Every structure is written in structure tokens, then in C-alpha cells.
Amino acid sequence: MEKFEQHRGVAAPILRPNVDTDAIIPSREMKRVSKLGLGDGLFAGWRYREIGGRDVNPDFVLNKPEYAGASILLSGPNFGCGSSREHAVWALKEFGIRAVIAPGFGAIFANNCIRNGLLPLVLDEEAVAAIAAWVEQAPQDRQPLIDLPAQVVEADGVRYSFEIDAGDKRMLVEGLDAIALTQTHWSVIEQFHAARKERYPWVY
């Protein structure tokens, strides 16, 4: 998996609360049994003028030339709430988003991010608003810097510290594959499995 250490990039604000995974990738855009080919459908309901169409809505932030190449999103509380579809993360990644900065995330979405090398970065609402206000003046020149090992976002000369679970941080920084990692504990799992079978036989 792609590692996440330092990242500097254009940040696009979508400052609304409760951006749900239906909005991030509408179900109608999930056409194939695949993790690929989803970037085009990212935010389709807002990005395009017509449902199912590809006629670009120039008012949507990711369509504005000053936000070209955006790789960071700034958003409101509870980003990624709703449906568990991992397609939301696959679509963001394919579009080129490496991190979402918001005051809070849907729990399943945040897990999905970690499993795919995308950083769900929690800052409080004022900090997100301050970064957005700074970025908006000149998005291409004013690019926040995210330093994951140091747990800091740098914007407008201010250093914002953020919290992240040690396990999540390690997965991202080292680009680990969770299944392979767990398989290194195989004997413990097998022991547990056998003991549980003994103790709760009706489960088996």
C-alpha cells in the first residue's frame, strides 16, 4: 500500500457537515465489480450538471481551475457518514485525494481510509475554517503541509497538531497490509479459536 509520510498539496474546501458516502460516490456510479474506475464518479451529484451526465458544473469547487490538482479536502463534521461503501475511499484516492481534514468522520469511512492509505485527519471546526479561509485566497500557492510522523498540519505559518491512533498511524506511515500483519499472529488466533470452540460449543 502507498505510504503516507509528508504531503503538501492544493486543498479544496467543501465546508458542509455530514457529507455522506452517497454524496462522495453515488450508488449509480458504482457500475463494475471493481475498486477501479470510480474517480470519475466522485461527487457526481455535485460535480456534474445532470444526474448520470458528465456536463461539468463550473460552480463546484473541484471543477474550478484554481483548485486543479487538489489532493486535500477540507470539510465539516461527520464526513463520510452513511453507507459503508468503500467505493467512497477508492473514488477519492483515484481522483488524487490523499487526505481529508474535518472535525470528525463516519467510523466505517475512517477505517476504510486507513486500509487504503488515505489520511482522515481530525482538526476542530475553527482550525478547518481558518485553513480554508487562508487557502481560498490563492489555492495553488497556499498549500498546507501535512506531516504525519510529527502529527502536524502547517498552514499560514500556523502549526496545528492533530491526534491519530498509534495503530492507524503506523499502518499509514509504513504502508502496511492489514491482512499480512494479522497473519503474523496466526498461532494466537488458532489458539483462541480452539479455546472458544471448547467453551462455547453451540457456536460451532
Residues in contact with another protein by CB under 8 A are: 15-18, 20, 22-23, 26-28, 30-35, 45, 51-52, 76-78, 81-86, 89, 104, 106-108, 111-112, 115-116, 125, 165-170, 178-179, 182-183, 185-186, 188-189, 192-193, 196, 200-203
- Opening angle at CA 75, ends 94 and 66, nearest 5: 65
Q: Which is nearer to another protein, 161 or 183 (CB)?
A: 183
Q: Minimum distance from CB of 204 to another protein (Å)?
A: 8
At 191, is the secondary structure helix, strand, or coil?
Answer: helix
- Residue 37: how many other CB atoms lie within 10 Å: 14
Question: In whole angstroms, what is the distance from residue 31 CA to residue 67 CA?
Answer: 28
Edge-to-edge strand ranges of the sheet holding 6-8:
6-8, 145-147, 152-155, 158-161
Q: Which is nearer to another protein, 8 or 35 (CB)?
A: 35
**Which alpha helices (H) appear in the chain, and where do they start and end?**
21-24, 44-47, 87-95, 107-115, 125-137, 166-174, 178-183, 186-199
Q: Minimum distance from CB of 45 to another protein (Å)?
A: 6
Question: In whole angstroms, what is the distance from residue 13 CA to residue 123 CA?
Answer: 14
Single-letter amino acid code for the residue at 173? V
Q: Minimum distance from CB of 192 to another protein (Å)?
A: 5
Q: Which is nearer to another protein, 115 or 142 (CB)?
A: 115
Q: Minimum distance from CB of 52 to another protein (Å)?
A: 7
Instruction: Provide CB contacts within 8 A for 34, sequence distance 6+.
Output: none
At 59, is the secondary structure helix, strand, or coil?
Answer: coil
Q: Which is nearer to another protein, 55 or 200 (CB)?
A: 200
Q: Which is nearer to another protein, 110 or 143 (CB)?
A: 110
Q: Minimum distance from CB of 112 to another protein (Å)?
A: 4
Q: Minimum distance from CB of 155 to another protein (Å)?
A: 20
Q: Which is nearer to another protein, 77 or 96 (CB)?
A: 77
DSSP 68: T
